[in-house]
Amino acid sequence: MELFHLKFVVLLLLLLFLELFLINCDAAGRCLEAENSTLLQLKKGFTTGKPESWQPGTDCCIWKGVTCDEYERITGLILSDQLISGTIDHCLFNLTSLQTLSFSYNNFKGIPIPDSGWDRLVNLSSLDLSYVGFAGKVPASISRLTKLTFLSLSCNYKPSLAINPMILQNMSILKELILDNVNVSSYLDEWCGVLVNSTPVLELLSMSNSSLFGAICSSLSMLPFLYVIDFGYNNLDSNIPELFANFSSLSTLNLRNNKFEGCEFYGTIPSSIGNLLELVYLDLSYNNFNGVLGLEFIKDLKNLKYLYISNSGFSLTQLDADIGSSSSSFPMMLHWTLVGCNLTKIPIFIKYQDQMRKLDLSNNKICGKIPSWIWRIGELKQLTSLISSNTTSQSDLSWLSLANNNLTGEIPPFICNITRLSALDLSNNKLTGTVPSCLLEEGIDLSVLNLGGNQLHGAIPQGISPKCDLKIIILKDNQLEGLLPRLMVFIESTATRFGIPTLQFQRNSTSDGGDKMAGAR
């Protein structure tokens, strides 16, 4: 009898233990009920882009865009690029365990950023409200987010948000600040002081098109950890200061489309830029510089991959076109854009760039024939021999523009050996000969072809492959004639529907239903 009682007690204990185990397992596999209800309430405020996986009775920790910690508390809410519109319910601020929050690339159609509740998100380290259509003022309560390391408030296209720099006053560990298209002009005098005093470990500063004007403040040099500076598309003027010499870790410097000027730039770029040994990206395009620029300053920048000095006001010296007789003279670049630099010949050092993907030398004064080596950029191992017509290039060059120069001669057929070329623009030169038929065949990646404004003659090639990838074709203002293949007519009608200029010919209808070239000039 006693044995029976003992077995009965053991059975009860086992059942009790099993029940507790199942309860705990169930609790461990589901998010907190209050946070589940919060997300469902947040969803009600959305008029479009409502997350389909957010359904009552299911575990919110497995919903799209939601991450939880080991205690099933929501720590991440990433709803980027979901076509969401509507409103943001204040219940959002009940998610007090949030560490990451992103609504980027949605469309809230001019509503303001919620002005209160941010002080409750005391654990937030990353806040991304960029390109969502917010308007008005950035609320001062965001300054309560003292644990932020990443903050992006960038706007769409033109400044629709205004910001007081004092929101940064408590963000002492902020590392990345992105305020592209945000209007900072009302507090311009305060920005430098606040950045230096409040964000001492800042690494990335992007304020493109943010209504900056005047000179770059010298106190920025007190932020030695900056590795990205983007002040493009503003109204900064005066000279580029020597302060950049202090940014030993700088990898990206974008000063594109400002009003920088000076004769201090005659002959050389400021020595401070030449000392930025970690620099990867440099853009000085579309400014008001003047004088002659020597490219020797980049020789020591061995990490430089992207150089843009188009329409900067600089003229490149003739010496620069001739120097660089060895592959070690210049860093191995991915992008070179030297548009409008008054070049009279193609710089020889480009010949040794075996990693080149984009080369734009348009709007210069380059004359004569296109050098044969231009078609084999990137083939360092083959520089000593001519490419035969049946050789396939291993070049990574995908973009080549020599438009608006004074180039003469014919387009060689072995241009098609550059099989990865996707855009070719040789327009507005004095090129003669015919259009190489291989440009319209499969086997190359060419999608944009502009040969307009030359002296090309003969018939349009007819052997166009159905697998041809060309999407934009401009052949106007030449002496071409003949039938325009139906495939090209289809490309033209499709592109025109979307407002893309292409296949710009004068055509006469023919009896066989094709299109006759009328010798467009």
pLDDT given at position 20 = 46
Kindly give, in sequence order, each residue whose CB lies less than 8 Å from that of residue 135, ignoring residues fewer than 6 positions away.
Answer: 110, 111, 112, 160, 161
Structure confidence at residue 171 as a pLDDT band (50, 70, 90): very high
Question: How far is residue 309's CA from residue 200's CA, in Å, rounded to a whole number?
Answer: 31
**Which amino acid would we find at residue 399?**
W
pLDDT given at position 386 = 33
Kindly give, in sequence order, each residue whose CB lies less than 8 Å from that of residue 261, ignoring residues fewer than 6 positions away.
Answer: 237, 238, 239, 287, 288, 289, 290, 313
How far from each other are the two terminal CA atoms of the chain, in whole angstroms? 113
Tell me: the pLDDT tens digits for 238-265? Answer: 777 677 777 888 999 999 999 877 574 4
Mean pLDDT of 484-499: 47
More confident residue, 46 or 7: 46
More confident residue, 466 or 127: 127
Least confident of 65-74, 343-352, 363-372: 343-352
Kindly give, in sequence order, each residue whose CB lies less than 8 Å from that of residue 345, ignoring residues fewer than 6 positions away.
Answer: 318, 321, 366, 367, 368
Question: How far is residue 150's CA from residue 204's CA, in Å, rounded to a whole number?
Answer: 9
Mean pLDDT of 488-513: 39
Question: How far is residue 476's CA from residue 473's CA, in Å, rounded to a whole number?
Answer: 9
Sort strands 176-178 and 161-162 into parallel, antiparallel or unpaired. unpaired
Measured CA to CA in angstroms, residue 216 lies from 172, 189, 242, 260 at distances of 22, 11, 10, 10
Average pLDDT, the chain: 81
pLDDT given at position 306 = 96
More confident residue, 237 or 175: 175
pLDDT given at position 483 = 66
Tell me: the pLDDT tens digits for 220-244? Answer: 888 989 999 999 999 988 777 677 7
Q: Residue 423, Cα to own-chain centre: how many angstroms? A: 18
More confident residue, 124 or 296: 124
Structure confidence at residue 517 as a pLDDT band (50, 70, 90): very low
Q: Residue 467, Cα to own-chain centre: how many angstroms? A: 29
Measured CA to CA in angstroms, residue 171 lies from 75, 143, 152, 231 at distances of 20, 7, 13, 21
Tell me: the pLDDT tens digits for 367-407? Answer: 999 988 887 776 544 433 333 334 444 568 899 999 999 99
pLDDT given at position 8 = 57
Calculate Rg over the CA atoms of the chain: 31
Helix (H) or strand (E) holding 490, with range, is helix 486-497
**Token match 């199942």: residue?**
22
- Label residue 158 exposed, middle or buried (CB < 10 Å: 0-12, 13-18, 19+): exposed
pLDDT given at position 146 = 97
Question: How far is residue 108's CA from residue 84's CA, in Å, rounded to a whole number?
Answer: 7
Q: Which two tokens stand for residue 485?
A: 């293949």
Mean pLDDT of 39-61: 96
